[in-house]
Amino acid sequence: MTDEILRVRGLSTRFFTEEGQVNAVEDVSFDVRNGEIYGIVGESGSGKSVTALSLIDLVDSPGRITAGEVWYRNADLAGEFRETRPEAVDGEFVDVRRLPEGVRRSLRGPAFSTVFQDPMSSLNPSLTVGEQIAEAVEVQRRARANPRRTRSRTQGYGLSNLIVDSVLPSRSYVSEESSERAVELLEQVGIPDPAERAEEYPHQFSGGMLQRAMIAQALAGEPDVLVADEPTTALDVTIQAQILTLLRDLQEREGMSVVMITHDLGVIARMCDRVGVMYAGEIVESGTLADVFENPVHPYTRGLLGSIPDLEDPAPRLQPIEGNVPSLLDSEMGDRCYFADRCPMAMEDCLTRIPEFAVSAGEPQGGVGSDLDGVDDAAGGGNGGAERGDDGTEHRARCVLAEREYDPERALPDGYFDPESAGPPRSADPERRREPEVNADD
């Protein structure tokens, strides 16, 4: 397994707000392979967009990446920093987070590029679309011409240029050549009359055309990894399909990897090779598309897929998952499986933090009495840059059901997490537990 371009390990991002600490991304690990589309799916508020921002190191204050590594395969950089920053180098990989700020910024474009959710707000309204794409080309052109300078804050773009440019719509940053390249890029993403459209402003574009322009801008740096954060959410359904097709074609043509962030399982099913399901800042289940979609283990994933089997009622529930989107406030998160309060299959085991388990093909492994603590120790620690997948499968889930069958005897009583009835866990009574739930479904 050396064909990864990106290995994310133990990434945690927190927001320090007035209401308290928000754990938006918690100990997230995944790999992205060369030329694949890796999907991250979750409800809004699950931390998937913050994960995208953390990857490209653009988390704004009051947010901060508090832990974790983002290993990016780049033999040249690895060579450059092997001596000076050995801790940031592992084989051909460099830990982006431990590189100097200037180098990190120079990776934006050629290493990581981003397509954001809302193209209208993601482009500067007062510059032409062509100029904005040309800027993305120009910054790489200058980087190639003078690699050192890329890392400076001004890139040889002096104070006087700044003053003139900020007052007048001058183009002294962007060269003729970059402007021409911008037109080519617009053509590549299927925008008709690209030369004329390049001269227009974002408000003159339709949503779909604008998202194409955003994609053109993201391609400008010829990125290794394209992070697409809900790229179709703001668009009409018909346009969505076109944009997805475009992304897929471009990914194949350019041979780049794509991290596709979405709340839409349809997008995942259509685009992705492998997928991670996020809930409350964690990846709760991950694996190949087939693993996760055909053999979901985590009740949350099953809920998302709309096929939670009810033990006593074989008809699948098509209801969305009950309960609220979890609070990510550190003070309210508790030391348990974060999904337990919404989980129809919550057991006493779920009252501790659950590590990631490898899901053995087909059936859950381990019996009721398996040694939980032992597994916790083995899987809970950071894996560093080391390879994962200790048992050959990459289907993993952060759920005890990966290890054992649901045991109604150990189920938590209903209303266990309600603030009013909060009390010590009593012995589970399946009968009492059923009744209110039926009512709630009506």
CA 9, CA 14: separation in Å to the nearest integer?
A: 16
- Which residue, 136 or 275, has its beta carbon nearer to other proteins? 136
Is 105 near other proteins (CB under 8 A)?
A: yes
The CA-based angle 73-1-109, given to 5 degrees, is: 25
**Under rule CB under 8 A, how many of the chain's residues touch other proteins?**
49
**Torsion sign over Cα 175, 180, 186, 189:** negative
The DSSP symbol for 425 reads: P
Q: Which of 13, 23, 54, 140 binds other proteins (CB under 8 A)?
A: 140
DSSP code per residue over 279-315 = ETTEEEEEEEHHHHHHS--SHHHHHHTT-BPPSS--S
113 in contact with other proteins (CB under 8 A):
yes
Residue 103 engages other proteins in binding (rule: CB under 8 A): no
Kindly indicate which of the ranges 154-162, 324-332, 381-389, 427-435 contains the residues binding other proteins, using the contact rule CB under 8 A.
Answer: 154-162
Site for other proteins contains 185 (CB under 8 A): no
Is there binding between residue 224 and other proteins (CB under 8 A)? no
- Interaction of residue 319 with other proteins, rule CB under 8 A: no
Is 179 one of the binding residues for other proteins (CB under 8 A)?
Answer: no
Task: Write the CB contacts of 253 (distance below 8 Å, at least 6 apart in sequence).
Answer: none
Query: Does the protein bind other proteins through residue 108 (CB under 8 A)?
Result: yes
**Rounded to the nearest whole angstrom, what is the least distance from the CB of residue 188 to other proteins in the complex?**
16
What is the H or E stretch that residue 25 is in?
strand 20-33
> Which residue, 162 or 368, is less far from other proteins as judged by CB?
162
The footprint of other proteins on residues 56-85 (CB under 8 A) is 56, 58, 60
Distance of CA 300 to CAs 47, 304, 337, 397, Å? 15, 6, 11, 10
What are the DSSP calls for 308-335, one per residue? BPPSS--SPB-SPPPSPPPP-BHHHH-S
By CB under 8 A, name the one of 123, 209, 216, 261 that touches other proteins: 123
Instruction: Pick one of 2, 146, 154, 370: the residue that binds other proteins (CB under 8 A).
Output: 154
Q: Indicate left, alpha or beta for 41 from its phi (over 0: left) and psi (-120 to 50: alpha).
A: beta
- Verify binding: residue 155, other proteins, rule CB under 8 A: yes
Regarding 13 and contact with other proteins (CB under 8 A), the answer is: no
Binding-site member from 218, 234, 244, 259 for other proteins (CB under 8 A): 218
Distances in whole angstroms, Cα of residue 117 to Cα of each of 148, 208, 210, 215, 221? 32, 12, 11, 11, 19
CA-to-CA separations, 425 to 72, 158, 305, 347, 438, in angstroms, rounded: 45, 66, 30, 10, 22
Give the span between the Cα atoms of 88 and 69, in whole angstroms: 9
Place of tokens 């890139």: 155
Q: Residue 7: in which H helix or E strand, if any? A: strand 4-17
For 90, the enclosing helix (H) or strand (E) is strand 89-90
Least separation in angstroms between CB 154 and other proteins: 5
Is residue 209 a contact point for other proteins (CB under 8 A)? no
Could you tell me which stretch among 37-45, 118-126, 242-250, 335-343 binds other proteins (CB under 8 A)? Answer: 118-126
Q: Is 220 in the site for other proteins (CB under 8 A)?
A: yes
160 binds other proteins (CB under 8 A): no
**345 touching other proteins, by CB under 8 A:** no
Position 141 contacts other proteins (CB under 8 A): no
Please report, as ranges, the residues that interact with other proteins according to CB under 8 A: 18, 53, 56, 58, 60, 105-110, 112-114, 116, 118, 121-127, 132, 135-136, 139-140, 143, 150, 152-155, 157, 162-163, 165-167, 169, 173, 201, 203, 214, 217-218, 220-221
